Amino acid sequence: MLELSAIRTDGGTQARVAMNAQAVAEYRDAFRAGVDLPPVIVFYDDAAHWLADGFHRYHGAKAAGMKSISANIMPGSRRDAVLYSLKANATHGLRRTNADKRKAIETMLGDPEWSQWSDSRIAGACGVSDKTVASVRAIFGNSEDAKPAVRTVQRGGATYTQRIGSIGKVRPIASATSTGDNAAFRALFSLPPIQPATSTELAVPVVPSEPEHVTGDFEVDAVLWLQGMVRTGDQALIGRALEAAKRINTPMKELQKRYEGHIMRTGGHVLQAMLATLNFGDLNRIAKTAVAKAQRRHEALSRFGSMEAVYAYTPAEEACMMALDGLKPDAGRGWIDVDRAAPRFAAHPDLVPATLTDCLVEFDYWHALYSLRAAFEGGFGDCDPAGSTHEDYAFAALARIPPRDTAEAMAVLDRLLENDRMGRAEVPAILRNLIAGPRGRDRAGDRDSLPPSAAPAHCNGACCLRSLPRDHEPDQSLHAHSAAGHRRSGAACKCHRSHA
């Protein structure tokens, strides 16, 4: 048991946007009734106990008049507690709201160190999808044009720097005309065609005719008002806002500091102030993001007809849900493991990709659907968990479906690199499949047939595949060229050069 008075709750370790009064009252009643509740999670840094998980239980215990509470005490700093809190309640306790998920992501993107993590690593830390992180990163202001040229990633227990100039770029949906593709699969994982938009939900939001009294500081309130105009995405309002901003003589950095001070004086903490004032006076960047979101909203309504239809289950989501009907999520994880789901999906021909390009089409589909849904204010684009499980199923299929030619293999490799998926467990098998090619997989020994002198055991195959000429004949096996890639002098294969 740990005394409540010894627990610190003021260090920005509360990952939720707001407390739920009903949940606190229910915990209060449970404590009074003598119910044995799970312990809260606390990090101790030899000076303070930082609460990381269990804020509703903590406040429920205080409301019940208790002096102490059951706690698991872990060694670590306030920063460790913040990181732990971001994923708390992802699979247990009071369900997180979309705003809670967004706050968790923004906390990491607002941190000088964590913001350099890959989307997939941030997604793992926050208990969300990497597509969610990518969308918030773009809105947050450190997206493609503001990212550094490299960022740190972790693979196999080691930390590396990775060039990310092309990560996150929107790409056209993969061609659906290749022979051998599953036509029913392609039809299922396709967005509705664009139709003339008639929805009134395209109307520009109404903006107050003059600044509202928010902070009491006229200049700060004026900037907040101009931000509201810019965030409509309406070109006319954006133009008016940018012209009006030129008449503000006080430097934006000074106004940002004044707004931070207001947040701190009204009960906020340092992290809240930092997140609320990020890109405070950069109206051009806010405008760029707002215009892009407005365009996606227009496309979403042109495809689906209404905002309600945008968020309704798509035929692909319904098909995945029906296939997994009756399967319970894995204990402690909140979703169904792909190994358990695979036999269910395999029983439905329209859910089975026939080619690697089929898989790429599905990835494009989920990315596009997420982007359209996330364009609306307060909206999150995550698909149903059954859809995410099927995406994992298609990703695993990249290791078993042989490439039809070099172009298809290279398309898969490019996608792995661009979407920062090289750290996933399936990647070594996928790369061996791409290198083996359509004929290499049929050879005796398959993945063991490459001589050790040609490809060192530590090589994951990407360097060999990258060394192939772009005009490589489609009917030749990539496998036959991997040895040449390792023997090539210069920078063709870092594995061979550094371990020869």
- Under the banding of pLDDT at 50, 70 and 90, the label for residue 355 is very high
Global pTM value: 0.55
Based on the fold, state whether residues 272 and 294 are members of the same structural domain. Answer: yes
Based on the fold, state whether residues 300 and 322 are members of the same structural domain. Answer: no
Give me the number of domains the chain comprises: 4
Domain end among 304, 339, 364: 304
Q: How far apart are CA 464 and CA 401, in angstroms?
A: 20
Domain end among 263, 278, 304: 304
Q: Which of 19-33, 137-151, 360-374 has the lowest mean pLDDT?
A: 137-151
- Under the banding of pLDDT at 50, 70 and 90, the label for residue 475 is very low
* pLDDT value of residue 175: 45
Q: Which residues are 162's β-sheet partners?
A: 151
pLDDT, one tens digit per residue, over 10-21 is 878 887 877 778
Strands annotated E in 110-197 = 150-155, 158-163
* pLDDT value of residue 203: 54
Based on the fold, state whether residues 137 and 228 are members of the same structural domain. Answer: no
Instruction: Specify if 169 maps to a domain.
Output: no
pLDDT, one tens digit per residue, over 205-230 is 566 666 778 888 888 888 888 888 88
pLDDT, one tens digit per residue, over 168-201 is 444 444 444 445 899 999 999 999 988 765 555 5
Q: Which parts of 338-468 fold into alpha helices (H)?
A: 338-346, 356-373, 385-397, 406-418, 427-440, 462-466
Instruction: Specify if 91 maps to a domain.
Output: no
**Long-range CB contact pairs, 470-478, < 8 A, 24+:** 470/410, 472/406, 473/406, 474/404, 474/405, 474/406, 474/407, 475/405, 476/406, 476/437, 477/436, 477/437, 477/438, 477/439, 477/440, 478/403, 478/406, 478/409, 478/434, 478/435, 478/436, 478/437, 478/440
* pLDDT value of residue 432: 92
Report the CATH number at residue 6.
3.90.1530.10
Based on the fold, state whether residues 365 and 464 are members of the same structural domain. Answer: yes
C-alpha dihedral sign at 128, 380, 98, 319: negative
Which residues form the domain of 294?
A: 201-304
* Closest by Cα among 300, 359, 292, 360 to 144: 292
Instruction: Specify if 397 maps to a domain.
Output: yes
Based on the fold, state whether residues 320 and 453 are members of the same structural domain. Answer: yes
- Under the banding of pLDDT at 50, 70 and 90, the label for residue 316 is very high
C-alpha dihedral sign at 312, 315, 317, 319: positive
Based on the fold, state whether residues 188 and 217 are members of the same structural domain. Answer: no
Most confident of 77-81, 126-130, 184-188: 184-188
* pLDDT value of residue 201: 54
- Under the banding of pLDDT at 50, 70 and 90, the label for residue 119 is confident
Q: What is the mean pLDDT of the chain?
A: 75
Based on the fold, state whether residues 344 and 488 are members of the same structural domain. Answer: yes
Q: Which residues are 47's β-sheet partners?
A: none
Most confident of 91-95, 233-237, 319-323, 352-356: 352-356
* pLDDT value of residue 211: 72
* pLDDT value of residue 343: 94
pLDDT, one tens digit per residue, over 321-341 is 999 988 887 766 667 888 999
Based on the fold, state whether residues 189 and 213 are members of the same structural domain. Answer: no
Between 48 and 132, name the one with better pLDDT.
48
* pLDDT value of residue 378: 65
Task: Indicate whether 363 pLDDT > 70.
Answer: yes
Do 359 and 353 touch, CB atoms closer than 8 A?
Answer: yes
Task: Indicate whether 132 pLDDT > 80.
Answer: no
Is residue 154 helix, strand or coil? strand
* pLDDT value of residue 148: 46
Number of H helices, E strands in the chain: 22, 8
Do 91 and 127 touch, CB atoms closer than 8 A?
Answer: yes
Domain end among 85, 120, 152: 85
Most confident of 300-304, 368-372, 396-400: 396-400
* pLDDT value of residue 476: 39
Q: How far apart are CA 307 and CA 310, in angstroms?
A: 5
Residue 97: exposure state from Cβ atoms within 10 A (0-12, 13-18, ≥19)? middle
- Under the banding of pLDDT at 50, 70 and 90, the label for residue 419 is low
Give exposure, 320-343, as e/b (b: 16+ Cβ within 10 Å). bbebbeeeeeeeeeeebebeebbe
Instruction: Specify if 90 maps to a domain.
Output: no
pLDDT, one tens digit per residue, over 434-472 is 988 665 444 434 433 333 333 333 444 444 444 444 444
Do 107 and 74 touch, CB atoms closer than 8 A?
Answer: no
Q: How far apart are CA 380 and CA 386, in angstroms?
A: 16
Residue 375 carries which DSSP code?
T
Instruction: Specify if 454 maps to a domain.
Output: yes
Do 483 and 455 touch, CB atoms closer than 8 A?
Answer: yes
Residue 459 carries which DSSP code?
-
Give the list of residues 6+ apart from residue 343 with CB closer than 8 angstroms, or none.
none
Is residue 52 helix, strand or coil? strand
Based on the fold, state whether residues 298 and 317 are members of the same structural domain. Answer: no
Give exposure, 231-249, as e/b (b: 16+ Cβ within 10 Å). bbbbeebbeebeeebeeee
Torsion-angle region of 83 (φ positive above 0: left; ψ -120 to 50: alpha; else: beta) = alpha
Instruction: Specify if 32 maps to a domain.
Output: yes
Q: Which of 8-12, 17-21, 248-252, 259-263 has the lowest mean pLDDT?
A: 17-21
Cα angle at 389 between 309 and 304, to 5 degrees? 15
Q: How far apart are CA 251 and CA 171, in angstroms?
A: 39
Based on the fold, state whether residues 379 and 473 are members of the same structural domain. Answer: yes
Based on the fold, state whether residues 10 and 57 are members of the same structural domain. Answer: yes
Instruction: Specify if 24 maps to a domain.
Output: yes
Instruction: Specify if 177 maps to a domain.
Output: no
Q: What is the DSSP string of 320-347?
A: HHHHTTTPPPPTTTSS--HHHHHHHHHT
Based on the fold, state whether residues 317 and 291 are members of the same structural domain. Answer: no
Q: What is the DSSP string of 272-295?
A: HHHHHTTTTT-HHHHHHHHHHHHH
pLDDT, one tens digit per residue, over 36-72 is 888 888 998 888 898 988 888 888 888 888 888 998 8
* pLDDT value of residue 399: 94
Task: Indicate whether 488 pLDDT > 50.
Answer: no
As a whole number, mean pLDDT of residues 148-162 equals: 47
